[in-house]
Structure 1
Amino acid sequence: MSTTVETPEPDEACAYCGSRIFDHDPICVRDCEEECGSPTYFCNYACLTTYVDERGLTTGNACEWSPEE
Structure 2
Amino acid sequence: MSTSVSVPDADQPCAYCGSRIFEHDPICVRDCDDGCGSPAYFCNYACLSAHVDENDLTAGDACEWSPGE
- Give the TM-score normalised by the residue count of structure 1: 0.88
What is the percent sequence identity of the aligned residues?
Answer: 71
Instruction: After TM superposition, give the deviation of residue 2 of structure 1 in Å.
Output: 4.1
Offset of 1:33 from its aligned partner? Answer: 1.4
CA RMSD of aligned residues (A): 1.5
Aligned residue runs from structure 1 range 35-54, under 5 A: 35-54=35-54
- The TM-score with structure 2 as length reference comes to 0.88
Equivalent-residue separation in structure 2 for 1:2 and 1:53 (angstroms):
32
Residue equivalent to 1:57:
57
1:47 alignment partner AA:
C
* Residue ranges of structure 2 left out of the alignment (5+ in a row): none
Can you list the C-alpha shifts for 1:15-45, whole angstroms capped at 9, x where unaligned?
0000000000000000111321100000000
> Contact 1:16–1:48 at 8 Å: present in 2 too?
yes
Asked if structure 2 preserves the Cα contact closer than 8 Å seen for 1:3 and 1:36, the reply is no
Q: Distance in 1 between matches of 2:35 and 2:55?
A: 21
